């Protein structure tokens, strides 16, 4: 009966078994889209977080893969992102034809830290970095949900990090090698911006200029530029409206897309809770800046 239950949506991804929430590590790598996600395989409610994994070629048909990240003695595996280390800046790669696929995730221990895992076989097997954490706890709170993007203007990598519900703000960090990070700025997202930042560049359709955008879990966003490690916001708004406490939440866009489109998937918060599974993802949508 798996995937055929009468209450299971047929066009929205859901895990064969257990609970699902935030999409993680959305990326395109050598012909395949990867959808990782927050996952409790043992129950139909939130619990010890793993990273589930599914792959596909058309963003609609997904093949569920073995679990990618398991909780360990340091804590549960909270949300994060994926990037392709094309230049092997980390030195983790062994084959130039298959650059490392890097996963930045929050280890929800005491304290929360930002950790690194990697794959050298296109996501089939994932190994935790031996020298974790790559970002220690910076401000003493529930810091989580790293989002990493390359900044071509400076030739460095940027990380947006939520600093926890106690503070409600975000940090911007910088790295030249994806391993050593330094904080460059703190900022807020209007209208109660909360967790799961998503940082990327997108071309403005009106003038073709690349702008930086940062989204948060509820759909609030900032658009602007990053100068000297600081986010200079020019516009703020909301692109997604939820119905009460349900609807799209904590979405991400696919890194390294083959056609340059900014494709977005979120957790579709809903009331569906079968005997075997609960929750699903939204359908993919394309984001544009006008």
Catalytic residue ranges: 22
Nearest residue to 196 via CA among 142, 152, 277? 142
Q: Are 248 and 240 in contact (CB under 8 A)?
A: yes
Q: Where are the beta strands (DSSP E) in the chain?
A: 18-29, 32-40, 50-56, 63-69, 76-84, 101-108, 113-119, 127-128, 144-151, 156-162, 170-175, 182-187, 198-203, 210-215, 220-227, 230-238, 247-253, 262-273, 277-281, 285-287
Burial tier of 182 (Cβ tally within 10 Å: 0-12, 13-18, 19+): exposed
Helix, strand and coil content of the chain, in percent to the nearest 5, comes to 0, 50, 50
The set of residues, in sequence order, having a beta carbon less than 8 Å from that of 237 and lying 6+ positions away, is 220, 221
Distance CA 136, CA 88 (A): 23
Tokens of 162: 């939520």
Tokens of 215: 């989204």
Could you give the angle at the alpha carbon of 215 between the alpha carbons of 185 and 277, nearest 5°?
125
Q: Are 256 and 81 in contact (CB under 8 A)?
A: no
């Amino acid at each position: 009966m798996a995937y055929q239950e009468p209450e299971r949506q047929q066009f929205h991804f859901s895990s064969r078994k257990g609970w699902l929430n935030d999409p993680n590590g959305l990326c395109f790598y050598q012909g395949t889209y990867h959808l990782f996600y927050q996952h409790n395989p043992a129950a139909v409610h939130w619990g010890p977080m793993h990273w589930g994994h599914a792959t596909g070629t058309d963003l609609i048909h997904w093949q569920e893969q073995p679990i990618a990240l398991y909780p360990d003695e340091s804590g549960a595996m909270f949300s994060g992102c994926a990037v392709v280390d094309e230049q092997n800046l980390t030195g983790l790669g062994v084959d130039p034809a298959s650059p490392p696929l890097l996963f930045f995730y929050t280890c929800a221990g005491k304290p929360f830290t930002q950790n690194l895992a990697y794959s050298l076989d296109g996501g089939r097997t994932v190994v935790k970095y031996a020298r974790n954490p790559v970002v220690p706890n910076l401000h003493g709170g529930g810091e989580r949900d790293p989002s990493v993007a390359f900044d071509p203007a400076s030739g460095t990598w940027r990380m947006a990090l939520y600093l926890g519900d106690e503070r409600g703000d975000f940090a911007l960090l910088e790295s030249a090698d994806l391993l050593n990070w330094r904080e460059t700025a703190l900022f807020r997202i209007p209208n109660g911006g909360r967790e799961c930042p998503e940082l990327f560049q997108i071309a403005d359709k009106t003038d073709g200029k690349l702008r930086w955008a940062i989204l948060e879990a509820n759909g609030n966003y900032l658009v602007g530029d990053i100068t000297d490690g600081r986010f200079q916001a020019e516009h703020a708004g909301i692109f997604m409206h939820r119905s009460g406490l349900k609807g799209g939440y904590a979405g991400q866009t696919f890194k390294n897309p083959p056609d340059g489109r900014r494709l977005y998937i979120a957790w579709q918060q809903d009331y569906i809770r079968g005997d075997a599974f609960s929750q699903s993802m939204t359908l993919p949508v394309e984001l544009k800046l006008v």
